[in-house]
Structure 1
C-alpha cells in the first residue's frame, strides 16, 4: 500500500498521482501538446503500447501520465502530411510509372469485370493494412505490401477459376 495516505487508524485514501510528482494530461492536452488529431489519438489509444489512463478518484476525465505519453510519442513519432497510400482522386490523370508501381502492377483477369477486380484489389490491400495494424506495424506499409499480396493471389485465383471451369 505504497500509494496510500493514512488518515487515522482505519481510513486509507489513495494518493493523487499528481502529489507524487507526475503531471496528468487530458486527451485535449495530448492533442495540443503533441500535434495530433482526435481521430489519430483514438487510433493510438487502441494500440497495446500506448500508456494506460490513470484513474483519479472523483474525476470522470480520462487522464494520462504526461511523462509516459511524452515517452510514447518519442518512440512513435506521428507522421505529418497527407496520406500517400491512397489512389489519386483525379481518375482521368495519368499516374507516373515508377519502378515500384510498374514492378507490382497486376493485370485484371479476363474472367472478372473491372468492378470485381477493383473490389478484390482494394479488399486485399485493406486486409494487408488491417493485418499490419493488428501486428502493431505501420499501416502505411500496406501501399507497398498490398500489391505484392495481389501478385501472389492472382496465380492461385487463376488456378481456382480454371478448376471450376473444368469441373463444371
Structure 2
C-alpha cells in the first residue's frame, strides 16, 4: 500500500480510503464518524485538497471505538401471542369454483358444476354440525346433540338472496 508523503519523524498522514482499507470499515462509516464530531480532525496536508488524518490519532480512535456488528435497520416486531396453525377453509375452494364458468377451453380449466358444488357445501355444513354435536355429546347435552345431528342430515331449504 502506498504511504502518504510525510516529513521524516512525523506521524504518517492517511486518507479516508487508506483508513477504510486498514481498519476494515467503509469510507461512508468514516464520513459518518466525522459528521458526528467524534473522529479526529484532519491535518493540513501539503499539495493535496483531500483531507488527511494522523495515523496515531486514527489508531487511537479505532482502539477506543472498536468496529461494531452491523445493526438491522428495521427491527423485527415482537411476536404477540402463541403461534397459530393456518388452514384453508374448504368453503373457499367451493365458492371459488361456483364463481367460474363450467369449462373454459382456452384456460383448460374445469370447474365444479352447480349441483356438485351444492353437494360439497351441504357435506361441509353437515360435517361442521356433526363436529359440534360430538362436542356437545361429550358434555352430556344429549338432546341438543341429537337435534344438531338431525339438522346435519336434512338438506337446507333454498334461500332467496
TM-based fold match above 0.5: no
User: Which structure: greater helix fraction?
Assistant: 1
- TM-score, normalisation: structure 2: 0.41
- TM-score, normalisation: structure 1: 0.40
Largest Rg, 1 or 2: 2
